[in-house]
Structure 1
Amino acid sequence: MENSQGRDILVVTTTVGSPADAHKLARTILQRRLAACVQLEEGLTSFYRWEGRELEDPEVRLTIKTLPGCAGALQALFGEQHPYELPQFLAQRMQASEAYYDWARGEVSLPEDPRDTLGL
């Protein structure tokens, strides 16, 4: 199901603890055709609270370019494949150029269920 804006791209970010985990997750996302592109950024340090403790850990950010209709399937994949107990799933709609949207639309397989957008 196409979105009402016509050329919306959904950009999802998540983080993992190692380049190997990032590569594995990125490849799985692409193999399942849930994104047109996944970018990896190494060299991040995250400061956060978890289970009552303050922590500092190296992380790799994944920036996933997909279509809004893939949000639910992507969250389900995180539930199966993401190495973290509580994966970051931050999503933002962005307007794409017509050419970029057409390319992304050609690379992504939208799930059958139109409710898969998670309201994004």
Structure 2
Amino acid sequence: MFYNLRLVYITTKDKAEAKSIGKKLVKENLAACVNIIDGMETIYRWEEEIVEDTEAILIAKTPYHNVQNLTDRVKDLHSYECPCIISLQLTEQEGNEEYQKWLLKNSQKQEIDYEVEDL
């Protein structure tokens, strides 16, 4: 069964910012679940300088139809001028179908009971 789900990869300045953004995304039903990975080392170019820093990764799990609203919301909440927000398409969605249904149900503005046959 294909559910058109996405993992949205977001980097933040620290765990506190990742947690703040993540809680809002889940509360506003823009993501069913988020994961936070703290202490990522990053090297990037900014304004012609090479920068080394530590960041936190925020991974949001959401259906495709939420990606643009999620992106807009993260940009509103984020401290960076140009935050990394990248949607990764899940091309082969094998795995726990019940979890995928849960993810869809918990990423909606309204409560909807999905049956496998309906999706």
Q: Distance in 2 between matches of 1:61 and 1:98?
A: 26
CA distance in structure 1 between the aligned counterparts of 2:48 and 2:88, rounded to whole angstroms = 29
Alignment-mate amino acid for residue 109 of structure 1: Q
Quote the RMSD (CA, aligned, Å): 1.7
CA contact (8 A) 1:8 1:101 kept: no
Unaligned runs of 5+ in 1: 111-120
Q: Provide runs of 4+ in structure 1 moved above 2 Å.
A: none
Count residues with an aligned counterpart.
Answer: 107
User: Distance in 1 between the 2:33 and 2:50 partners?
Assistant: 33
Instruction: Supply the distance in 1 between the matched residues of 2:79 and 2:108 (Cα, whole angstroms).
Output: 24
CA contact (8 A) 2:3 2:63 kept: no
Q: Deviations over 1:74-109 (max 9, x none)?
A: 111022111111011111121254212110111012
Which residue of the partner structure matches residue 76 of structure 1? Answer: 72
Report the AA paired with residue 105 of structure 1.
Answer: L
Letter in 2 for 1:98: E
Aligned equivalent of 2:14? 18
Match of 1:90 in 2: 86
Q: Of the two, which has the highest radius of gyration?
A: 2
Matched, 1:31 2:27: yes
TM-score by length of 2: 0.83
Do the aligned residues in 2 keep the contact of 1:40 with 1:60 (CA within 8 Å)?
Answer: yes
TM-score (norm 1): 0.82
Deviations 1:36-64 (A, max 9, x none): 11000011110000010000111000111
Q: Distance in 1 between matches of 2:40 and 2:75?
A: 23
Q: Which residue of 2 aligns with 1:114?
A: none
Contact 1:7 1:98 in 2 (8 A): no
